[in-house]
Amino acid sequence: MNQVKNMNQNVNGRIHPKLFLLYLSFGSMLMLFSAFCSALIVRKGDIRQAWIELPLPSAFLYSTFIIIISSITIHLAYKYIETKQKFIMWSCFTLILSFVFVGLQLKGWKDLQSMHIFLNGNPSGSFIYVISWIHGLHYLGGILAFLLIILNFRRSTIGVEQKMTFNILMQYWHFIGLVWVSLYLFFKFIIYK
């Protein structure tokens, strides 16, 4: 834990510039998703538009569990970053879980379509598509970065810079997971059935 704390600071004892940029991006993502959630609440309260109460597909619940587990496995990959075999094993588990998450999101969208809820239909369904799609783009960006980092690690030895890069990815992964869990709880307990 102390190693992660030291890694988050540069030689002057200040936050590392790359982490500072990451945290700035977290702020912008929080503002984006907060704006969508605020718009959803306002739209639901608009009496001129009929709001359709709909059940959330169970695939979204399962994907929530998967994203939590993948957050644990990426943390374990970071813990064993200097033990190549364990690092690769936990990284592979994380990647597999990330593809399962994406598959479950796609299944959730198909389930919505089977309930005759479409992107261009009632706003109650449109918001689910848009918000989960934007989250999915952020998640796919994380998967792409993960794949690139793993390929780069295969060609080089693990040093301070590689640890910092993976630490940044891990923090991003945790953040995106937390965003999805928050969105799911918002959908489930505040907006929909």
Confidence at residue 14, expressed as pLDDT on a 0 to 100 scale? 81
pTM of the model: 0.89
166 near 42, Cβ under 8 Å?
A: no
Q: Which residue has the higher pLDDT, 148 or 47?
A: 148
Q: Measuring CA to CA, which residue among 23, 15, 173 is closest to residue 90?
A: 173
Q: Where are the domains of the chain?
A: 17-44+57-191
| DSSP symbol at 56 | P
What is the separation of C-alpha 79 from the centre of its chain, rounded to a whole number of angstroms?
20
CA atoms within 13 A on the CB side of 84: 8
Confidence at residue 3, expressed as pLDDT on a 0 to 100 scale? 53
Highest mean pLDDT among 1-15, 148-162, 170-184: 170-184
Confidence at residue 157, expressed as pLDDT on a 0 to 100 scale? 75
Radius of gyration in angstroms for the set of CA atoms belonging to the chain, rounded to a whole number: 19
CATH topology of domain 17-44+57-191: Four Helix Bundle (Hemerythrin (Met), subunit A) (1.20.120)
pLDDT tens column, 89-100: 999 999 999 999
Number of DSSP helices (H) and strands (E) in the chain, helices first: 6, 0
pLDDT tens column, 42-64: 988 886 777 888 899 999 999 99
What is the pLDDT of the chain when averaged over all its residues?
90
74 near 170, Cβ under 8 Å?
A: yes
